[in-house]
Amino acid sequence: MSKPDLNLLVTLDVLLSEGSVARAAQRLRLSPSAMSRALARLRATTGDPLLVRAGRGLVPTPRALELRERVGELVQDAEAVLRPATRLDLKQLVRTFTLRTSEGFVENFGPALIARTAAEAPGVRLRFVHKPDRDSTPLRDATIDLEAGVVGEMTAPEARTQALFRDRFVGVVRRGHPLGKGRMTPARYAAGRHILVSRRGREGGPIDEALRLLGLERHVATIVGGFSTALALARGSDLIASVPERHTGNLRDGMHSFALPVVLSKIVVSLLWHPRLDADPAHRWLRGCVRDACATSGERLVRQVN
């Protein structure tokens, strides 16, 4: 069965509204003969005469009267769908956005982001979910609205991305730790007892590779799954934690941070979203809030390290 021509809905709406082929043709800027052909197609499609002759005019059939209100609503809804988006009213916006980020991102940038969204759009709720990997499937299937992280091989090629900030790893020890004084060298750094952060339980990483190029090897005393855990251990012991600087700004308060004495690539943290949300006004507003929160918090959280 062939699909009906949906353009006929507009024609039917005008015909039922005007009750005249001539006036409907004038309103739609068609010739009377073209409108008569359209009416014939409508009659064939619906299986009803729709408009019948009564004296010199036309009157609607019971079927036409039944359809008139429904057709009018359908046309109005279609016009609303195709109309450019109206200006976003943040005060009236009621929506839950799901963001997939690391715990460090939430801990450092979450407070500023939540405060901003609450002030501008009280009906908006942010839901943060754990980020176990870089798989883009949640973006594709609309499980999440936004993601913050490092773009990698597992990132979907169609994903929209925008860089938020650059980060670097720093060494962190408790206040009063011997490494808090004196010049930091690769040998001195490697000689300490270290906390390795690995979500997958690996026993080495970029820092170990950089030390190996210098003929050095650090002693890993323990392996943990997150940076907050590593900092908690370092705060209460003589262990050394090596963590991203901006992701751990709040957690490092009261501790001594220092620049790592090895060369590592900078980390570029980006915002990722699916193309279907690119033009959505509310989503665009949220993306701006995230960017501003990262910029504002970055100015406040980046510590001057030795």
Show the tokens assigned to 122: 């009280």
Predicted confidence at residue 83, as pLDDT, reads 66
- 253: phi > 0 → left, psi -120 to 50 → alpha, else beta; which? beta
Predicted confidence at residue 88, as pLDDT, reads 87
Mean pLDDT confidence for 285-292 = 96
Predicted confidence at residue 303, as pLDDT, reads 42
Predicted confidence at residue 183, as pLDDT, reads 93
Q: What is d(CA 100, CA 84) in angstroms, rounded to the nearest whole number?
A: 30
In 3D, which of 306, 285, 58 has the Cα closest to residue 180? 306
Predicted confidence at residue 85, as pLDDT, reads 64
What does pLDDT average to over the chain? 88
Q: How confident is the model at residue 297 (pLDDT cuts 50, 70, 90)?
A: low
Mean pLDDT confidence for 225-235 = 93
Q: How many C-beta atoms surround the C-beta of residue 82 within 10 A?
A: 7
**Residue 269 contacts residue 148 (beta carbons within 8 Å):** yes
pLDDT exceeds 90 at position 215: yes
Task: Classify residue 48 by its DSSP letter.
Answer: S
Mean pLDDT confidence for 21-49 = 90
Please, what are the domains in the chain? 7-82 (1.10.10.10), 93-167+268-301 (3.40.190.10), 169-265 (3.40.190.10)
SS3 label, residue 292 = helix
Mean pLDDT confidence for 176-199 = 94
Residue 277: φ, ψ to 5°: -100, 5
The tens digit of pLDDT for each residue in 58-84 reads: 888 999 888 888 888 888 778 767 766
Share of the chain above pLDDT 90, in %: 53
Predicted confidence at residue 305, as pLDDT, reads 47
**Residues in CB range of 282: below 8 A, 6 or more apart:** 88, 93, 95
